[in-house]
Homo-oligomer: A and B are copies of this chain.
Amino acid sequence: MATRTDAPTRREQILKEAARLFAERGFHGVGVDEIGAAVGISGPGLYRHFAGKDAMLAELLVGISGQLLTGAKRRLAEADGGGAEGVLDSLIEGHIDFALDDRPLITLHDRELDRLRDSDRKMVRQLQRQYVELWVGVVREVYPGLGEPAARSAVHSVFGLLNSTPHLGRGGSLPGRGATAELLHRMARGAFAAAEV
């Protein structure tokens, strides 16, 4: 698991707060002064750590896409020979963990992509595409009745389902993390199964 125990660097603090603010009010809706204030320094101080506001967003989005893809590849490799069913469950579990633990990032991920420089956007799109295609392969193995276009649509739709976590009441009345994760998992599997034929 390799959990971090040392204190987060200033850069990491900034990225975390920027992600939260961008998710809450949109990239253009947040000023650099606010981001600075969120970590206890003031506006222009951020430029000691990032080339500009765009660079923060770029690093966040590239980081998210890369993390998702890397995790998925690892899960695919780990369960090699262990049945496609198990791999799909592992993929779903990983995506749910991400959606539940990093809601702001999940929100940014499909909301602010167009605010990136061309080169960064291309990179993020490529990582996202690889991630989707990895899912599509596994899904078609588990549900052979699905054609490729249908499988791709189904995968995008299940992402929509799993990424709905920001809309689930902010920690108030929902049935706890474990139960929510389980519910989402079952629904994802049910959606895929119903997509087949």
The CA-CA distance from A152 to B180 in the complex, in Å, is: 11
A130 within 8 A of partner (CB): no
A132-162 contacts to B, CB under 8 A, are 149-150, 152-154, 156-162
Contact status B153-A180, CB under 8 Å? yes
Q: Chain B's nearest CB lies how many Å from the CB of A178?
A: 13
| Mask of A161-197 contacts with B, CB within 8 angstroms, 1/0 | 1111001110001110001100110111111111100
Chain B residues with CB below 8 A from A25, complex form: 114-115
Contact status A161-B191, CB under 8 Å? yes
Contact status A29-B167, CB under 8 Å? no
The CA-CA distance from A170 to B164 in the complex, in Å, is: 21
A27 within 8 A of partner (CB): yes
- Seen from chain A, the residues whose Cβ lies within 8 Å of a Cβ on chain B are 24-29, 110-112, 114-115, 149-150, 152-154, 156-164, 167-169, 173-175, 179-180, 183-184, 186-195
- 15 A-B pairs with CB atoms under 8 Å apart are A26-B111, A27-B28, A150-B175, A150-B183, A153-B175, A153-B183, A154-B183, A156-B164, A156-B168, A160-B160, A186-B195, A188-B191, A189-B194, A190-B190, A190-B193
